[in-house]
Amino acid sequence: SNSSLSCGGCGVSLQTESPELPGYVPQAALEREPIICQRCFRIKHYNEAASVAVDQDDFLRLLGAIGGTSSLVVHIVDLYDFEGSLISGLSRFVGNNPVLLVVNKIDLLPKSLNTNRVRNWVQQQAKALGLRPVDVVLCSAKRNIGFERVIEALDYHRKGRDVYVVGATNVGKSTLINRLISDYSDMEQELTTSRYPGTTLDAIRIPLDDGKAIIDTPGIVYTSRLTEVVPRSFLGALLPDKPIKPLVYQLNDGQTLFIGSIVRFDFVKGKRQSFTLYLSNALNIHRTKLERADELYQEHKGELLGAPSEEELASVPEWTRHSLQVAKGSKQDVFVSGLGWISVNSTQGAQLDVYAPKGVKVMLRPSLV
């Protein structure tokens, strides 16, 4: 990178290596005058906000800066990766500012699902994770579902203040921001960029008609999400694009499911029962005997077992094993951040082993569906 150059738009230090990090400019654009970062270029020419990502330290500094303002904080999370994309310390970091929780990607849930139930579940889970939002809104930024409710909630809770939009990467923040730009902002005025107070990070300001603005923030990268530790080439298979069709497997103990070549699910001990998979339907599922699973993986990962390929797997961290005990008579999900979940409706209890790349969050939670 070339740290001596800075963007003529927002002032961020320019670099030519990582498109998803702040200050990226394609090599060829360095010939132009004035030199501006790709993000400013898109804003200027297409009125479009592109997402950038920052690490934990920069992100916490940024949240602290928001804490010093009087504003509404809109936290956007991915329903499909709820525990993985929720910023649990958010209320603490942004001080007294209210948090509006916008739950995106509801289009992915099976059609049969009752949205009131989902909303209650979200409220309970958010509370359990330490977040107390003033309101919860469900939407799909991409399919334009529930967007009027998002705007209503913004108007109602903003009370004449600025709005900061925060979220992890890949939750659909820029899709939502671009919708807000086209449907809600005061387009007489142009998008501008400015600095967050006390940081070196640039912010996109989307003007509102009362002189206030919606301010986009960089996404935070959580390496506890499978989506952040796999190569980009595998993301298409991992992120569902259509409503998920749940897959039901009746398993005996001593059976294993391979989910592509990326996660392994062992039913170690318990009575025969059903497991329902809520995953991208582009993933290959392979059932086998637990006693054969190690050997099968060694011989067939990346091919018979499905993506990612062996070449892609080379850059993915090694598996670690998570031993989980589903209590008798409970309905729980085995949640694997960035992959989806497996719902266990256990009358008899079940002992499970889940193998996932090191660092990826794997846990039991109250069942969503």
Binding site for ligand GDP (CB under 6 A): 51, 104-105, 107-108, 140-143, 167, 169-175, 219, 239, 241
Exposure class string for 93-104: b at 16+ Cβ within 10 A, else e: bbeebbbbbbbb
Q: Give 48's DSSP letter.
A: -
Q: CB 328 → ligand GDP: shortest distance, Å?
A: 35
Give 59's contacts (C-beta < 8 A, 6+ positions apart): 218, 220
Beta carbon nearer to ligand GDP, 130 or 236: 236
Nearest distance from residue 241's CB to ligand GDP, in Å?
6
CB closer to ligand GDP out of 97 and 217: 217
Please report how close the Cβ of residue 171 comes to ligand GDP at its closest, in angstroms. 4
Annotate 217-267 with three-state secondary structure. Answer: CCEECCCCCHHHHCCHHHHHHHCCCCCCCCEEEEECCCEEEEECCCEEEEE
Q: Which is nearer to ligand GDP, 172 or 270 (CB)?
A: 172
User: What is the sign, positive or negative, of the torsion defined by CA atoms of 285, 289, 294, 297?
Assistant: negative
String of DSSP letters for 149-171:
HHHHHHHHHHTT-EEEEEEBTTS
Of 279 and 293, CB closest to ligand GDP: 279
**Nearest residue relative to ligand GDP (C-beta):** 172
For 67, the 3-state DSSP assignment is helix
User: Which residue, 216 or 266, has its beta carbon nearer to ligand GDP?
Assistant: 216
Residue pair 360/229 in contact (Cβ under 8 Å)? The answer is: yes
Rounded least distance, CB 167 to ligand GDP, Å: 6
- Minimum CB separation of residue 282 from ligand GDP in Å reads 13
C-beta of 74 vs 344, nearer to ligand GDP:
74
**Cβ-count burial 161-191 (b if 16+ within 10 Å, e if not):** ebbbbbbbbbbbbbbbbbbbbeebbeeeeeb
Which DSSP string do the residues of 188-208 spell out, in sequence order?
TSPPEEEEPTTSS-EEEEEE-
Decide whether 133 or 219 has the Cβ nearer to ligand GDP. Answer: 219
226 vs 235: CA distance, rounded Å: 9
Least distance CB 78 / ligand GDP (angstroms): 8
Residue that is written with structure tokens 């400015």 in the block: 194
In angstroms, what is the minimal distance from the CB of 80 to ligand GDP? 8
Rank residues 39 and 286 by Cβ distance to ligand GDP and give the closer one: 39
Please state, in angstroms and rounded to a whole number, the distance separating the CA atoms of residues 343 and 253: 16
